[in-house]
Amino acid sequence: MLHSMTAFARTQEYHEPLALGWELRSVNHRFLEAQFRLPEPLRGMEYGLRETLRKHLKRGKVDATLRVDRAEGSPQMELNRPLLLQILAVLEQVKRDAPEVGAPSAMDLLRWPGILGADAELDTAALEEPVTDLFEACLAQLIEHRQREGRQLEETIAQRLEEIERLVDEVKRHTVSLAHQLKGRLGQRIADLGSELDPGRLEQEVALLAQRADVAEELDRLSIHVEEARSNLRGPGPHGRRLDFLTQELNREANTLGSKAVLAQTSQRAVDLKVIIEQIREQVQNVE
């Protein structure tokens, strides 16, 4: 089953006197890249949370944000006085060693991590289990969202592969009588010029033109790549990188087909193929 890399999830839980809330956002990325935003006292949990994320996701850029708020009715503004005194002591030392450095304002001090708000007095030991459990619940929601969108991507890609197969069959029908059509064209041009050409030489020229314009190999490779893409969709993930490689190969064959085409119908179908392959490539960018 395909998994999309684009998803969103949010969970919230009350752990008196705190309200805990996780928010996870993921978008497409070549590798797995995670950015965690945690209250400073809980920063030590980041490694374990990253390992949990890595076990379940293979690709995507994930932003994980934990909010820790005081429950309604609890004091919303608390000053971490021990931390403030430590900062002031350090500032005094800085003033002695570098008197030219300006002193910070009161607002600068209040912006210091953990100096004000719910971060000031967090019981990290008591919060570790509920924060981890809530993160796993939020991650499960994110994975479910990625799966739902992945199913839609799979249907879209499968439809585009059917269109490629239909166009390939159409080009095959057009090129079955390619040698006969080239012979008729060349003969007509010779007649228009009022010249005569030895029948044997005419056959040689037609054979040479037909060889240069033969697209059977490109059509066979397009069919092979389509079948390989279908096999990839049916197999276990991750799928994104393999599908991205196959779209590059499909586009390569479509370009060669267009450059070798001598029939208007074949040229048009080569353009149609490139449009469809580009649509697949855009969808594949979101596949894990």
Structure tokens at 72: 């309604």
E strand intervals along the chain: 7-15, 18-27, 32-37, 60-70
pTM above 0.75, yes or no: no
pLDDT digits (tens, 9 = 90+) for 56-94: 999 999 999 999 876 655 555 566 777 788 888 888 888
Distance CA 250, CA 254 (A): 6
Is residue 212 within 8 A of residue 260, CB to CB? The reply is yes
Write the CB contacts of 197 (distance below 8 Å, at least 6 apart in sequence). 190, 205
Higher pLDDT, 125 or 277: 277
Mean pLDDT of the chain: 83
Distance CA 144, CA 136 (A): 12
pLDDT digits (tens, 9 = 90+) for 22-68: 999 999 998 999 999 998 888 899 999 999 999 999 999 999 999 98
pLDDT digits (tens, 9 = 90+) for 222-273: 999 999 999 999 888 789 999 999 999 999 999 998 887 777 788 898 999 9
Cis peptide, bond prior to residue 113, ω within 30 of zero:
no
3-state secondary structure of 28: coil
Domain with CATH 3.30.230 in the chain: 7-75+125-147
Higher pLDDT, 180 or 234: 234
Question: Which CATH number is associated with domain 7-75+125-147?
Answer: 3.30.230
Per-residue confidence at 171, pLDDT binned at 50, 70, 90?
confident
Structure tokens at 11: 């969970």
